[in-house]
Structure 1
């Protein structure tokens, strides 16, 4: 599935329900969220994160399709605010 900026934004705050974001993760790199991008560039694509800190932004993906866990998309940043890693996490 390709990345849909409006669809992604509509799911903000959806921690434990079904979410359309999970299907969009495969298109995030093509949308510009990749290693080397700045925090401002990431936020221009993904919008404000559901949770944030000095080293990472977290976007909720909702309940996992493969079990009772919850998924997030994490963007890690260097101290200079440049993406060092991205990935889906389960909790």
Structure 2
């Protein structure tokens, strides 16, 4: 009957790759920092502050919408939403 465990060679190779991954990411970040020069007059979202205020307003509205959806889903999951059938009298 064949064994289901992976071979030790492939496990060792996988272990070496996991050890090399942080080194590759660090090398890529160092290379990116050396190649690109920062421009201090520009912010992350544009030159003017109005773009930042607009971005914050849009992100806040999106987060409020997601919080409401999460609240509704939690109420539905725990059966706390009012049932429309209960209002109908026979």
User: Smaller-chain TM-score range?
Assistant: under 0.3
Bigger Rg over Cα: 2
Q: TM-score, normalised by structure 2?
A: 0.17
Q: TM-score, normalised by structure 1?
A: 0.17
The structure that is helix-richer by fraction is: 2
Larger RCO of the pair (alpha carbons < 8 Å, separation 6+) = 1
